[in-house]
Amino acid sequence: MTKEEQEIVQLISIAGESKAKAFEALKCVKTKEFDKATELIAESRNLDLAAHNIQTDLISRELNDEVESSSVGLLMVHAQDHYMTSQLARDLIETLISVLQ
């Protein structure tokens, strides 16, 4: 596995962890544990920031003519899907927390 592929897999892993934290926060809302839910959303946001940093680095290298990067493959498309889904889930759940609190 290349270094770039490892970074893409890391992006997938971090995005999955972020989404899991967001849905764990939603479970806390159901039981009215709003402080815990807010804490989990903050953890999810921090994970999304880490994923964003990996994504930005990958995109920057792809746009740099002096650095050789692989073409966009199914693995990167899969990573983008996970990352965007985790952001959407977190944003929606964060809104639900504020509405129900």
By annotation, the residues acting in catalysis are: 78
CB 17 within 8 A of CB 47: yes
Helix (H, G, I), strand (E, B) or coil at 32: coil
The identity of residue 25, as a single letter, is A
Q: At residue 19, what are phi and psi to the nearest 5 degrees?
A: -65, -40
User: How many helices and strands (H and E) does the chain possess?
Assistant: 3, 0
Two tokens, residue 5: 């592929």
